[in-house]
Chain A
């Protein structure tokens, strides 16, 4: 509505601009107001992230670290435990909130690192072309053939001082390839345009052209790709933790909660230990991916709804 009024005002003022091409944030807002599912997905995503990040400040670490035999497999709602207790009597709800925060933190860290690598590799490769492009793309190809999950597990088991940072670097090292290719293809579509050629002719340094002239023109990709990469990274991290090779055992995590679902007794008798975490991961993956798709539509003028 607000959009329409604004446009009418412009016209009544006798502004010579008949229609202003929508840019940046405006396009995104318009896309989301035209797609109710995208709006709901975005709200759910923001809600989960805020609940996890803010909620974990209010949770006493004792609730998810102290082992208490009295509340072992406690039913939801008893002993003041909203979602019951786990195998050692820890508060499942507290673990869920703090675990979500850990997964979200790792997901964003990985996504940010992947974007940095992707931008540097993609820009260098696409801008310089020729032999530089060839070498970088062969390296990318090589990383693509590596069995990522297996190598992550092996490195995690043989690294003597395992920490969250090793996990983040590991997921980044085997997950940057498609992002780099995406940026490269975008750069290739820009690199022969007049503004780049003009800049080159007037003697601007390559570095300045790449990061201050080319990058802003493909920047709409960043928001899209970082969202989708975030979703993938959360999936990879929870998957690794689920298998037992992600976050350490004493760290609350979604993957660890889900991994309670590995024997028949726990699955059928104590569903509160694993089901909430599984459903939360499901909902988060769906909402983040849907938001990413709506952003991608907004970034591509041919696909826009509004």
Chain B
């Protein structure tokens, strides 16, 4: 068990190194440097040159790379040019908002996908199954921003049911007031994100149930006279839920990463919106930091999925 996890973590190290090199090269290609945030119109050219010299921006690239990695490990990604504050503070402010949205939509994703997946698998070929399969097909096929846009146009601008921007209303006061206002802002984007991310879960659960129904242990249970309800709940369902449990890590990072469109369209001040705002303002230090973070989050998500998988399914452990 621990061997598997250790091995998996060791495999991650080269990926992190290549990711950091890749982002470093990308950052070097961008105009500006981490000190762009310090420079104002009064700064003279010689001062800039001095700052650059002191910061070691004239050092050879390998030296700069290791210094950058060292700083990044200490959470130092430079200053934001747009907001004049450390990038890491800026990101952590916005990360909270994205986290709320992601938690809401992850919970909802499972609340929707598990019952639908069970129905589709249990009543394979029925009208329910066909409708669920159709919903799956639509959610995979159409780019998600089309739905976000149609939803905000209808529910936000035409019918005025939900707010169209922000994460919390300015009038909200008190803990309960603020929480309710937050929830109110999250509902529309959260529901849509959840509706768009159920396909994988439903598909895995459905085919899991269909395949497991034909397994020998299910036939044995039935022939022993185990009631059908128990056969389904204890034998078929439990085994079909394994891949979904393992998928958890990827679902979380997918939701964190896929937030760019949702947050832009719903003007929700999270990390995805921060990224688009930074690109528009050419705020390169924020852009670089966000790419590193998203790449790292994906790696962590994969790791989490593999660990869960090795916990729930002993067959894949390496000993």
Contact = CB atoms under 8 A, between A and B. Distances in A.
Interface string B29-66: 11100000000000000000000000000000000000
The B contact surface, by secondary structure, is helix
Interface in B1-25: 14-15, 18-19, 22
B314 interface: no
Contacts of B142: 235, 281-282, 285-286
Given A142-B15, A142-B18, A145-B15, A289 B260 contact: no
A146 interface: yes
B279 A146 contact: no
Nearest to B291: A150
Contacts of A282: 142, 146
Interface string A285-296: 110111001000
Interface string A233-244: 001101100111
B257 A157 contact: no
Interface residues of A, number: 40
Interface stretch (B84-92, B94-102, B179-187, B294-302): B294-302
Contact of A147 (B152, B298, B302): B298
Contacts of B298: 144-147
A220 interface: no
Contacts of A144: 298
Contacts of A285: 141-143, 146
A147 B294 contact: yes
A145 B279 contact: no
Contact of B291 (A151, A158, A235, A288): A151
Contacts of A271: 153
A253 to B, nearest CB: 14
Contacts of A245: 279
B26 A286 contact: no
The A contact surface, by secondary structure, is helix
A278 B30 CA distance: 33
Interface string B140-163: 111101100110110001100000
Contacts of B29: 158
A281 B294 contact: no
B137 interface: yes
B264 interface: yes
Contacts of B138: 286
B26 A154 contact: yes
A250 interface: no
Interface string B271-297: 000011001101000010011001100
Nearest to B138: A286
B124 interface: no
B295 A147 contact: yes
A150 B145 contact: no
B239 interface: no
B143 A281 contact: yes
A154 B291 contact: yes
Nearest to B267: A262
A144 B145 CA distance: 22
Contact of A258 (B140, B149, B158): B149
B261 interface: yes
A196 interface: no
B291 to A, nearest CB: 5
A145 B295 contact: yes
Contacts of A239: 143, 145, 261
B164 interface: yes
A267 interface: yes
B153 A153 contact: no
Nearest to B19: A145
A261 B257 contact: no
Contact of A150 (B15, B18, B22, B275): B275
A286 B141 contact: yes
Interface in A236-271: 236, 238-239, 242-245, 258, 261, 264, 267-268, 271
B149 A261 contact: yes
A96 interface: no
Interface in A114-159: 138, 141-142, 144-147, 149-151, 153-155, 157-158
A94 interface: no
A129 B31 CA distance: 42
A147 B291 contact: yes
Pairs A-B, 5 closest by C-beta atoms: A289-B141, A235-B143, A147-B294, A145-B298, A267-B157
7 contacts: A145-B15, A150-B287, A242-B145, A243-B260, A258-B149, A281-B142, A282-B146
Interface of B: 14-15, 18-19, 22, 26, 29-31, 137-138, 140-143, 145-146, 149-150, 152-153, 157-158, 164, 257, 260-261, 264, 275-276, 279-280, 282, 287, 290-291, 294-295, 298-299, 302
Given A138-B14, A149-B257, A268-B158, 9 more contacts: A151-B26, A153-B275, A155-B26, A158-B29, A235-B143, A242-B145, A281-B143, A286-B141, A286-B142
